[in-house]
Amino acid sequence: MQLLTIFALFCLLGTTLSARAQEDRCKRRPKSAKGMCHNGEVPKLRFTYNPKTEKCDHFYDLRCNGQILNSFENFTECMTACNPDSKCLATPDKPFQFPWKTSFVFDINKMKCKKEKSLRRPAIGPKINRFLEEADCKKTCEPNLIKIITSSG
């Protein structure tokens, strides 16, 4: 019985530590480059989470040795790890397609906001991927390009 209790505590502690490590990962920002790699490695376009804007941005990552913690291969991976409740990850609902009311949704595959028209004013809210203004959609979801090249060599 004691062995089972100890095992349960380790499982619970491991989950807590894993969540904490993920949270810390998302708070760390990439540092500016101190130089270029000597092996001819070219920068790769990756994503980093910005806790202030609560979205992921593009950045150029150049790693000679080591790895930056807040660096993700794609937008979905970055947002899922760092802001899983973001409305940008939600699949937009399909409104009636009549050209009376305009709204904007974030297309996660193209990483762009797109305009949609509907019969009535579409539902919006903190969990719904729909915006009344294109500027709000872009500010909330579209990644910015930040020009940071990281290097350790």
| CATH code, domain carrying 39 | 4.10.410.10
Mean pLDDT for the stretch of residues 49-72: 82
Residues 6+ apart with CB under 8 A from 56: 47, 48, 49, 50, 72, 75, 78, 79, 82, 83, 143
Q: Is the pLDDT of residue 42 over 80?
A: no
Helix (H, G, I), strand (E, B) or coil at 137: helix
Cα angle, residue 39 at apex, residues 36 and 45 outer, rounded to 5° = 60
More confident: 28 or 73 = 73
| Domain assignment of residue 20, yes or no | no
Q: Are strands 145-150 and 55-61 parallel, antiparallel or unpaired?
A: parallel
Going from the C-alpha of 118 to that of each of 87, 132, 146, the distances in angstroms are 20, 12, 35
Which pLDDT does position 66 carry in this prediction?
A: 59
How does residue 14 score in pLDDT terms, banded at 50, 70 and 90?
very low
As for how many domains the chain has, the answer is: 1
Which residues form the domain of 67?
A: 30-150
Residues 6+ apart with CB under 8 A from 10: none
Residues 6+ apart with CB under 8 A from 15: none
Summarised one tens digit per residue, pLDDT across range 82-129 is 999 999 999 987 766 556 788 999 999 999 999 988 776 677 788 899
| Domain assignment of residue 11, yes or no | no
Which pLDDT does position 12 carry in this prediction?
A: 44
Helices (H), 28-146: 75-82, 134-140
More confident: 103 or 65 = 103
| Domain assignment of residue 18, yes or no | no
| Domain assignment of residue 16, yes or no | no
| Domain assignment of residue 8, yes or no | no
CB atoms within 10 A of CB 25: 16
